[in-house]
Amino acid sequence: MTQTRAKGPVPFFLDDVVVLRKQHPCGGDTWRVVRLGADIGLRCGTCGRRVLVARRDLEKDMKRFAERGPLAPAD
Ligand SMILES: [Zn+2]
């Protein structure tokens, strides 16, 4: 993977866990990627609720990866 943390599309993979700037009302801030597409499905790591977020909104709100899924290429 030549693309590191440059600007541009963030390569999300299933089962990645991301930390967002905004906390969920339940207090959680980690989310697992459960669906990929134009919208990205996330499951709250704390309460288990699922949401759909537009990819660009997710890229904007994302702070970092907490964990990479098994499908993500190693750095
Ligand atoms: Zn939650």
Q: pLDDT digit of tens for each residue in the chain (75 aa)?
A: 454 555 667 899 999 999 999 899 999 999 999 999 989 999 999 999 999 999 999 999 999 999 999 998 876
- Structural domain boundaries, residue 45: 17-67
Tell me whether residue 6 is in a domain. no
Q: What is the pTM of this model?
A: 0.84
User: How many domains does one find in the chain?
Assistant: 1
Q: Tell how far the Cα of 75 is from the centroid of ligand 1, in angstroms.
A: 29
Q: Tell how far the Cα of 9 is from the centroid of ligand 1, in angstroms.
A: 25
Q: Tell how far the Cα of 35 is from the centroid of ligand 1, in angstroms.
A: 17
Going by the DSSP 8-state scheme, the letter that residue 71 receives in this structure is T
Question: In CATH, what number is assigned to the domain containing residue 28?
Answer: 2.30.30
Going by the DSSP 8-state scheme, the letter that residue 7 receives in this structure is S
Give the C-alpha distances (Å, rounded to integers) separating 46 from 17, 27, 42, 60.
12, 8, 12, 21
Residue 32 contacts by C-beta under 8 Å, 6 or more apart in sequence? 15, 16, 17, 42, 43, 45
Which residues pair with residue 32 across a beta bridge? 17, 43
* pLDDT at residue 23, as a whole number: 92
